[in-house]
Every structure is written in structure tokens, then in C-alpha cells.
Amino acid sequence: MKEFELIRRYFTEQVIKRKDVVIGIGDDCAIVSPSERQNIAIATDTLVAGVHFPEGTSARAIGHKAIAVNLSDLAAMGAEPTWISLAITMPEADLAWIEAFCQGVFELCEFYNVQLIGGDTTRGPLSITVTAQGLIPKDRHLTRSGAKSGDWIYVTGEIGDAALALKHVFGEVVVADEFLDDVRKSLDFPKPRVLAGQALREYATAAIDLSDGLIADIGHICKASKVGANIVLEDLPTSNALRETVGTEQAYELALAGGDDYELLFTVSENNRVGMETALANTGNIITCIGQINGSEKISTTLNSKSVSINAKSYEHFANNQNSKD
């Protein structure tokens, strides 16, 4: 099985060499030396072929997404990403595939100064498990549990396009050519909001990344914080592509329930709104206020100030699977 040896070489040919990595790939373990006064955040996510990405997804996109979804978890806690362990199981040693996969992995790692420190390469049905670690000043991490009645609810970027892309892949809608590239990128190349997460340490009362869908994820915050929330539908940040393809009403549904957005959803007190908006603008992130926390312990939605009920059951991955969000 010399091919698997060759695969490993791709993983050692990375550009990033962090000073806090004492031993990287090649021994029984990696050894890292975190700076004092920092805690470590750890996230693990698995992508399974046919469950978390459609068959036929490009290797580069799979590599990007495997890293991005984990960096997104780190961002939701306010951590600065540092080290990645990558376990890849694949049916055969396909060197062209692995080269493109590594391109997707290393593009993100280089952008965020993250070093691949180890992992495992095994034969079997295609799946990728990444454990990503990051540093965070002690007692400065964001959680889901700090939202208070009266806090404002914000989201980064635009939401619903990843769900639209999936509908296109499965032939349920047709996205026009002029939009297709951007829409497909939302699904295949999600942008983890790493800098936004770090900026939010100073301001947010709670944060989560949008993987299950807005309604499910604001539900996670409300449950952990023992509060309720109202979402203002007409304020949801959706793309022209989404609204023009499916109309306003279904755009709301996909934005609320679609999942796979990997934007940050967070809450801020009235007093911290201006400071947070300035700080986030400095990171280059666009944010939108989409509602407010209340004491009801329920999730409600309004449209033009009138209560509306929505068809937004919790997102399930398209192969009827569900992520654990740990």
C-alpha cells in the first residue's frame, strides 16, 4: 500500500509552521505548547459522503468544508484557530483527488495560520473527521447560555443560499446561470466567521454558528439561556438570488430552516450595540439585526409587526441525518 504513504506526503507539504507546534506530523503524537493565560477550544466534526455533501462534490470543496465547519465552531466560541488534526477514510488512494482535497484544506489553513499537526489515513467508505483547536484568553469564551431578555439578535452575512444550492443539486428548483456560481459557493465553500467571533468576545452575550438552521440554532441559544426570541422576517438578510429564485415567502423558509449557512448568530445588549457594530465593521463582516430576546421561553416570528406562523422544522441533513453540534 505505497499509495497511502504517498498520500501522507501531501499532508506534510504544508506552508504553515507555527511556533507553538513543538512536534507536528510524524511521531506518535503532535506536541503543542500553548501560551500561558490561554484556554484551548476544541471542536470535532465529521463529514460523510452522501450525508454532509452530495456525491459528486469536488474534492477541493470537501477539503475546504471539512476545515470550515470546524473553524466555524471555534469562531462561535470566540477562539483563534491554531491546530488541526485530520482523519480521512477513503475507498482507494486516489492521488489526484487527495491533491485537490489538500488544496481546499490548506487554502483555509494558510489564510488563518492554522497548522495541520497530525491525523490518520485509512481505507474505507469516504468520510472526513477534523478536530480543530484554538486559543482563547481565559474566561473570555462565548457560550450559548448568556442571552438576556431585551438583547438584540444579530446574524453575519446572508442566509438561505446553501439550502437553495442543495435544492438545485436535487432538481427541486432551478437557479439561473447568473446566480449559480455564488449560490453553489455558499454550499461548497462556506466562510467561517473567524475574525467576527474573536471581535464578539468583547460584546456578545451568546453566540452559535448556523449549521442546523436559524430557528433550530436560536432555539439552542434560548434553551441554554432560558429565554425566548422573536425573529423579524422582513429583516432576514437573504440574497437577490434566493428571493428571485423561490420568491419572498420561501426565501424566509429557507433562511429560517435551511441550515449549513455557517454564519454566526449572536445576541448583544442594548448598551453594547454601537461598540459591537463598529468592531464588526472593522473585521469586514456585514451584520444584520433580525430580532430580540424576550422572557417567553418561546420562539416567535413576525412579519410587518404581525405574528406569523412558519413552516420551519429543524434542519436535517439531506440524507435524513442530524449533526450533534457538540
Q: Which three cell numbers stand for residue 139?
A: 474566561
Smallest distance from the beta carbon of 301 to a second copy, in angstroms? 24
Q: Which of 42, 100, 232, 310 binds a second copy (CB under 8 A)?
A: 42
Instruction: CB nearer to a second copy: give 27 or 177.
Output: 27
What residues numbered 157-186 form the site for a second copy, per CB under 8 A? none
Smallest distance from the beta carbon of 284 to a second copy, in angstroms? 22
Span interacting with a second copy, options 19-27, 166-174, 266-274, 301-309, rule CB under 8 A: 19-27
Query: Is residue 74 at the binding interface for a second copy, with CB under 8 A as the rule?
Result: yes
Query: Is residue 303 at the binding interface for a second copy, with CB under 8 A as the rule?
Result: no
Instruction: CB nearer to a second copy: give 75 or 233.
Output: 75
Span interacting with a second copy, options 84-92, 156-164, 234-242, 276-284, rule CB under 8 A: 84-92
Query: Is residue 13 at the binding interface for a second copy, with CB under 8 A as the rule?
Result: no
Q: What is the dihedral of CA 284, 288, 292, 293, to 10 degrees?
A: -40
What is the C-alpha to C-alpha distance for residues 59 and 67, in angstroms, rounded to an integer? Answer: 13
Q: Which of 195, 224, 303, 310 binds a second copy (CB under 8 A)?
A: 224
* CB-CB contact of 111 with 81 (8 Å): no
- Which residues, other chains included, contact 17 with Cβ-Cβ below 8 Å and sequence gap of 6+? 24, 115
What is the C-alpha to C-alpha distance for residues 153 and 294, in angstroms, rounded to an integer? Answer: 11
Dihedral sign, Cα of residue 247, residue 259, residue 66, residue 96: negative
What is the C-alpha to C-alpha distance for residues 258 and 286, in angstroms, rounded to an integer? Answer: 20
Please indicate if the annotation marks 73 as binding a ligand: yes
Please indicate if the annotation marks 161 as binding a ligand: no
Q: Which three cell numbers stand for residue 76?
A: 462561535
What residues numbered 280-299 form the site for a second copy, per CB under 8 A? none
